[in-house]
A and B are shown apart, each in its own frame.
Chain A
Amino acid sequence: MSRRGLATALVAVTTTVFAGTSLATEETPGEVPITSDLTAVIALQGLPCGKVVSATQRGEDDYVASCEDGNRYRISVNPAGRVIVEKLD
């Protein structure tokens, strides 16, 4: 096999592997993105946010959400099973 053929095969394999990896990291269809979920939770609490633009996971069932209006919230689930939304400064 020529050098050119080897290069083509290598590019193809690399592309396939990375494409699969990126697909696997995406959320499965039908699952709600965490930003949308947090947006809905904040809205259910009646707090101002608009839309969550980014979310950082701090632990299991513990997130920090940044809203498009600049507000930041901590959303977590307490041991009693209640969803707690705290406003961060």
Chain B
Amino acid sequence: MCWPRPGGPFCRAADIASIGQPQVIAKILSHLKRTAQQQYPLELPLGALSFGVRVRSFASDQERLMVDREALFVTARIVLALSSFLVVGCVGFNCAQTTESVQAVPPAAPSAVVEAPAETVREEVPAPAVAAAPAAQPAQAPSPSVIEPARPAKPAPAPRVSAPQAAAPVAPVAPVAPPKQPPKPAVVATVEPAAPLDLNLLETRLRETTAIGVFTKLSLKNQVDDLLNRFRAYHKRQGTATLVELRRNYDMLMLKVLALLQDSDPALARDIVRSRAAIWNILADPRKFTESKLMAGATP
């Protein structure tokens, strides 16, 4: 499809490629044979080559001019789109950098500042130290627009960058407190993994294991019963043993058990190691000791 223009008719490249009338084709071909091969041997603009316009030669200066113009338009559009992407990307990157450097500052009301690049941030850093009053904000606000008069038509990213800058000297102490919330990790750290063994399960596992003999099991049971009797006396305030001594006896007994099991039943030894603190908590706490039905008498 072609339409008239002051410099000659203008046709789109797709329409040139879709000429279907045999008479027109024949006329173009005959004309090309006469003129085009000698005058323009395969001189195409870069845009035409890169965007697939299949025009090899041109019948006249007008056709060449039309193709050149179209390629130029396409190239100009691409360049414009790329440059706009680049500008938007640069502005976004600057915004991210500025917001990171001025973190934890509450968003203030957007001011009328046009744009605030990184240089303006460096220039304004000493300003809050001198004038820490909110009244100084209007005086600082126009300065960036004076610095960059070449780009007045991009107000969109300006509020994001300029707002934290202007609000930085207003309240620097109050917003810093909310991000510092250490109790969360402390709560997580206090959560202990569940112990794989309690006293009853430990007794069952010791009975079932084939890592130690019958005499050893009996001897271990005797020593566990002796220790439990001492704990009972301690919780009833009848014995003379202190909790430190009981802890020493408990550790020694655990070491004996581990020494017996660590080579022949490493899984049980590992479970005992994991449950060691939990079992001690049961033994040392009178309430847990009673709830575990250990206060009544010797284990079966």
Residues of A within 8 A of B221 (CB): 81
Name the CB-closest residue of A to B216: A40
Give the dominant DSSP class at A's interface.
Answer: mixed
Residues of B within 8 A of A61 (CB): 215
Contact A44 B218, beta carbon cutoff 8 Å: no
- Indicate which residue in B212, B222, B223, B256 contacts A37 across the interface (CB closer than 8 Å): B212
**Does A17 sit at the interface, judged by CB under 8 A?**
no
Q: Which of A1-40 contact B (CB under 8 A)?
A: 30-34, 36-38, 40
Contact A32 B223, beta carbon cutoff 8 Å: no
Contact B222 A82, beta carbon cutoff 8 Å: yes
Contact A41 B216, beta carbon cutoff 8 Å: yes
Contact B219 A44, beta carbon cutoff 8 Å: yes
Are A41 and B222 also in contact (CB < 8 A) when A31-B210, A32-B210 are? Answer: no
Per-position contact with A for B189-226: 1 when CB-CB < 8 Å, else 0? 00000000000000000000011111110111111000
Query: Smallest CB–CB gap between B191 and chain A, Å?
Result: 36
- Indicate which residue in B210, B215, B256 contacts A83 across the interface (CB closer than 8 Å): B215
Name the CB-closest residue of B to A82: B222
Q: Interface size of A by Cβ–Cβ distance < 8 Å?
A: 19
Per-position contact with A for B219-240: 1 when CB-CB < 8 Å, else 0? 1111100000000000000000
Residues of B within 8 A of A30 (CB): 210
B: contact size bracket = 10 to 19
Query: Smallest CB–CB gap between B53 and chain A, Å?
Result: 86
Residues of B within 8 A of A75 (CB): 215
Residues of B within 8 A of A77 (CB): 215, 218
Name the CB-closest residue of B to A36: B213
Query: Smallest CB–CB gap between A45 and chain B, Å?
Result: 7
Residues of B within 8 A of A36 (CB): 213
Contact A32 B211, beta carbon cutoff 8 Å: yes
Query: Smallest CB–CB gap between A87 and chain B, Å?
Result: 16
Alpha-carbon gap, A65 to B218, bound state (A): 17
Q: Which of B239-263 contact A (CB under 8 A)?
A: 256, 260
Contact B213 A34, beta carbon cutoff 8 Å: yes
Contact A81 B260, beta carbon cutoff 8 Å: no
Per-position contact with A for B63-101: 1 when CB-CB < 8 Å, else 0? 000000000000000000000000000000000000000
Name the CB-closest residue of B to A61: B215
Contact A41 B210, beta carbon cutoff 8 Å: no
Residues of A within 8 A of B211 (CB): 32
Residues of B within 8 A of A32 (CB): 210-213, 216
Residues of A within 8 A of B216 (CB): 32, 37, 40-41, 44
Residues of A within 8 A of B213 (CB): 31-34, 36-38, 40
Contact B222 A40, beta carbon cutoff 8 Å: no
Contact A45 B215, beta carbon cutoff 8 Å: no
Contact B210 A38, beta carbon cutoff 8 Å: no
Residues of A within 8 A of B256 (CB): 43-44
Contact A37 B215, beta carbon cutoff 8 Å: yes
Alpha-carbon gap, A49 to B260, bound state (A): 16
Residues of B that sit less than 8 Å from A by CB: 210-216, 218-223, 256, 260
Residue contacts A-B, CB under 8 angstroms, 22 given: A31-B210, A31-B213, A32-B211, A32-B212, A32-B213, A32-B216, A33-B213, A36-B213, A37-B213, A38-B213, A38-B215, A40-B213, A40-B219, A41-B216, A43-B256, A44-B220, A44-B256, A44-B260, A61-B215, A77-B218, A83-B215, A83-B222
Residues of A that sit less than 8 Å from B by CB: 30-34, 36-38, 40-41, 43-45, 61, 75, 77, 81-83
| Smallest CB-CB A-B distances: 3 pairs | A37-B213, A32-B213, A83-B219
